[in-house]
Amino acid sequence: MLKKVLIANRGEIALRVVRACKELGVASVAVYSDADAHAPHVREADEAVRIGPPPSSESYLLGNEIIAVAKRVGADAIHPGYGFLSERDWFARAVREAGLVWIGPPAEAIAAVGSKTAARTLAVAHGVPVVPGTTEALRDASEASAIAKKYGFPVLLKAAAGGGGKGMRVVRAESEIAGALDAARREAKNAFGDDAVYVEKYIEGPRHVEIQVLGDSHGTMISLGERECSVQRRHQKMIEEAPSPAVSPELREKMGAAAVRFARAAGYTNAGTCEFLLARDGSFYFLEMNTRVQVEHPVTELVTGVDIVQWQIRVSSGEKLTIPPRIVPRGWAIECRITSEDAENGFLPSTGRISYLHVPGGPGVRWDAGVEAGSEVGLFYDPMLAKLIVWGATRAQAVERMHRALLELMIDGIETSREFHLRVMEDAEFRAGAIDIQWLERRLPSLLGAAPTDAEVRAAAIAAALIADAERAGRGASAAASGAGNDNAREDSPWAKVARAEGLRVL
Ligand code: MV4
């Protein structure tokens, strides 16, 4: 077994890896930038080493410096988390060449699936369905026209080097092709320095469903089932769940087998995810493979009972996977990404100090966070502060539990996505599981502009009455609002009684 793992990351995922190390009896080493000197992941690790100033380009992205730190402190392995250096094949190779264990897939497997078109070709060669289309870069608009006619409109022009939806254009009629090709090429050139664009049939209203796989170095590769990740905005996932409301046991079996086939073909080991589009008619198409542990891995952990991060460390140590090959998901798990974004203001990033934090608890609630009360939230890193994950026996129970947990959650000092998530949990379409990749952006105006619920109207009326009472008693509105004033003064208002009857807290 490995003895000491250096974690080349920050925030909640760094703390997640520290926790896995502790449970396995493995020492952990955090690295940190000046912005994170007092962060939880730094405090909870057994050792911590400063690597540079706040910008990631001068800290968490300095692969060679991080490897040097690992050597200096006597670590025998590096866990990259997600983002930062996690999917850079050069880094995986450099870690190996430094005589350290890379807690992830082989550098060659990262490279093999790194290019979209190469991954598409590999999938086709191994009988994994991909969206009908080409892999060759288009020469000109007339070639695009001919291909579009073969597959039928609408088609999608996609950047070969693509990712995150950049360099993508939907084309619904022949007359739009030339303009769309120019635009896709320009965008691809800007984003990736490569203007190669190819054509796919455009799938209308699909879901984003992904399969978690896990493989060891002894030839075992298993599927841990799917996650439904359709609730996303501008290619940023907001809510994930496992299983998917749209996946039957038979479909799970087929998608799992396809993902395992693809991972094997790529020479994959460790944890990885195959992304698919699931069309309305139940057909599924491979999109790409993510060669890292993902943000949303906890929902799979909660319904399978498998500790994915512990297994990443164990298989990297050469251990054999001892998980039964056919896992049936038990119950339902949902994750909400709690971000420092103001949904009411176009998801504008919010900064400041978290002056107060109350973490939800109770049955079936998990809180994976990189911050705590007192943390300073700036603009150097991703706005995701924490993940709130719940488990329920059924999807309906998980949704109710998430709603209850979000009501318990209190974060003061910055704007967060909490209210946004509350509105989603109350939404009839979400509750029916009737979601696809366009659902959130379609629904956002009504979610955010939603009329207050009856309970909210009553709460506001009661609050106003309490403040008026306090003002009449000469204590001022702020006293009523902040909880100053003595107990007698609070008890004497009839409105306080009404508020308590409504289940409100009187400060
Ligand atoms: C598609 C598609 C529809 N048809 N391909 C977007 C990012 C890239 N990884 C793949 N993407 C898509 N490819 C065909 N042929 C729709 C999307 C897409 C999407 C996919 C997954 C999750 C969110 C998405 C949001 C918009 C579009």
Q: Work out which ligand 1 atom sits closest to the CA atom of 232.
A: 23
Stretch 309-317: mean pLDDT, rounded?
98
- For 293-347, the three-class secondary structure string (H helix, E strand, C coil) is CCCCHHHHHHHHCCCHHHHHHHHHCCCCCCCCCCCCCCCEEEEEEEECEEHHHCC
**276 Cα to the center of ligand 1, angstroms:** 9
Same domain, yes or no: 44 and 148: no
At position 474, the amino acid (one-letter code) is G
Q: Are residues 258 and 379 in the same domain?
A: no
| 94 and 111 co-located in one domain | no
pLDDT band per the 50, 70, 90 thresholds, residue 115 = confident
Euclidean distance between the first and final Cα of the chain, in Å?
A: 52
CA-proximal residue: ligand 1, atom 20 (nearest): 208
Mean pLDDT, residues 114-120? 88
Per the structure, the complete domain to which residue 480 belongs is given by 454-501
Of 201, 229, 260, the domain-final residue: 201
Q: How many CB atoms lie within 10 A of CB 253?
A: 14
Q: What is the pLDDT of residue 489?
A: 42
Query: What's the CA-to-centroid distance between 165 and ligand 1, angstroms?
Result: 7
Q: What is the average pLDDT score of the chain? A: 93
Neighbours of 378 (CB within 10 A): 12
132 CA to middle of ligand 1, Å? 14
Q: Is residue 61 part of a domain?
A: yes
**Within-domain flag for 88:** yes
Q: What does the alpha-carbon distance between residue 175 and residue 389 come to, in Å, rounded to a whole number?
A: 47
For residue 426, give the 3-state DSSP assignment.
Answer: helix
| pLDDT of 182 higher than 60 | yes
- pLDDT category, 56, cuts 50, 70, 90? very high
283 assigned to some structural domain: yes
- Ligand 1 contacts CB of residue 2 (under 6 A): no
156 lines ligand 1 (CB under 6 A): yes
User: Is position 302 within any domain?
Assistant: yes
CA of 13 to the centre of ligand 1 (A): 26
Average of pLDDT values for 423-446? Answer: 97
Last residue of a domain, which of 201, 225, 246?
A: 201
Which protein residue's CA is at the shortest distance from atom 21 of ligand 1?
208
Residues 183 and 257 in one domain: no
Same domain, yes or no: 209 and 264 = yes
Flag whether 506 is in a domain: no
Tokens for 426, please give them.
């109350």
Range in 83-92, 139-148, 253-262, 477-486 the model is least confident about: 477-486
Residue 504 burial (C-beta neighbours within 10 Å; 0-12, 13-18, 19+):
middle
pLDDT tens digits, one per residue of 145-163: 999 999 999 999 999 887 7
**Ligand 1 atom closest to 164 (CA):** 7
How far, in Å, is the centroid of ligand 1 from the Cα of 168? 9
- 436 CB under 6 A from ligand 1? no
Q: Which of 169, 292, 337, 490 is catalytic?
A: 292
Which pLDDT belongs to residue 160?
A: 86
Q: Give the angle 306-311-314 at the CA atoms, nearest 5°.
A: 150
Cβ of 285 closer than 6 Å to ligand 1, yes or no, is no
User: In 3-state terms, what secondary structure has residue 44?
Assistant: helix
Taking the CA of residue 203 as reference, the ligand 1 atom at the shortest distance is 4
**pLDDT value of residue 326:** 87
Query: Does residue 69's CB lie within 6 angstroms of at least one atom of ligand 1?
Result: no
What SS3 string covers 435-466? CCCCHHHHHHHHHHCCCCCHHHHHHHHHHHHH
Pick the range with the lowest mean pLDDT from 115-119, 357-361, 440-444: 115-119
Confidence of residue 453 (pLDDT cuts 50, 70, 90): low
- Ligand 1 atom nearest to 202, measured from its CA: 4
Structure tokens at 182: 């120019």
How many other CB atoms are found less than 10 A from the CB of residue 401? Answer: 22
For β-strands 101-102 and 77-79, DSSP reports them as parallel
**In the 3-class helix/strand/coil scheme, how is 258-301 assigned residue by residue?**
HHHHHHHHCCCCEEEEEEEEECCCCCEEEEEEECCCCCCHHHHH
Q: Which of 164-173, 382-391, 486-495 holds the top average pLDDT?
A: 382-391
Best residue among 147, 273, 437 to mutate for probing ligand 1, ranked by most atoms within 8 Å of CB: 437
Looking at 131-135, 243-247, 472-476, which range is the least confident one? 472-476
- Protein residue with least CA distance to atom 3, ligand 1: 203
Mutate to test the pocket of ligand 1, among 210, 281, 287, 289 (most ligand atoms within 8 A of CB): 287
Say yes or no: 110 and 93 in one domain: no
User: In the structure, what pLDDT confidence band is assigned to residue 491 with cuts at 50, 70 and 90?
Assistant: low
Same domain for 242 and 315, yes or no, is: yes
Which of 328, 357, 387 terminates a domain? The answer is: 328
* Beta-strand pair 352-353/384-392: unpaired
Nearest-atom number in ligand 1 for the CA of 275 is 21
For ligand 1, the distance from its centroid to the CA atom of residue 280, given in whole angstroms, is 14
Report the run of H or E that residue 91 belongs to, with start and end. Answer: helix 89-97
Q: Provide the token pair at 140.
A: 């000109």
Ligand 1 nearest-atom number relative to CA 116 = 9
Question: Is the C-beta atom of 203 inside 6 A of ligand 1?
Answer: yes
State in Å: Cα 141 to ligand 1 middle: 22
Pocket of ligand 1 contains residue 287 by CB under 6 Å: yes
How much is the average pLDDT of 478-487? 44
Residue 155 and residue 302 in one domain:
no
Do both 126 and 248 map to the same domain?
yes
Q: Report pLDDT for 506.
A: 66
Read off the CATH number of the domain in which 159 is found: 3.30.1490.20
Would you say the CB of residue 131 lies under 6 angstroms from ligand 1?
yes
The residue whose CA has the least distance to atom 17 of ligand 1 is 165
- Reply yes or no on whether 292 is catalytic: yes
Going by alpha carbons, the residue nearest to atom 26 of ligand 1 is 437
Pair 139, 127 in one domain: no
Give nearest CA residue, ligand 1 atom 12.
Answer: 165
- Its pTM surpasses 0.85: yes
Residue nearest to atom 16 of ligand 1 (CA): 203
* 397 found inside a domain: yes
Q: Does 92 score more than 90 pLDDT?
A: yes
| Cβ atoms of 259 and 127 closer than 8 Å | no
Are 258 and 370 found together in one domain?
A: no
Q: What is the CATH number of the domain that holds 53?
A: 3.40.50.20
pLDDT tens-digit readout, 246-291: 999 999 999 999 999 999 999 999 999 999 999 999 999 999 999 9
Cα-to-centroid distance, 171 and ligand 1 (Å): 14
Give me the amino acid identity at 31: V
Please indicate whether residue 482 or residue 506 has the higher confidence score (pLDDT).
506
Is residue 252 in a domain?
A: yes
Residue whose C-alpha is closest to residue 310's, from 505, 24, 71: 24
Domain membership of residue 507 (yes or no) is: no
- Residue 237 CB contacts under 8 Å (≥ 6 apart), including other chains: 229, 231, 295, 296, 337
Q: How many structural domains compose the chain? A: 5
**Is the CB of 119 inside a 6 Å radius of any atom of ligand 1?**
no
Do 158 and 226 have their domain in common?
A: no
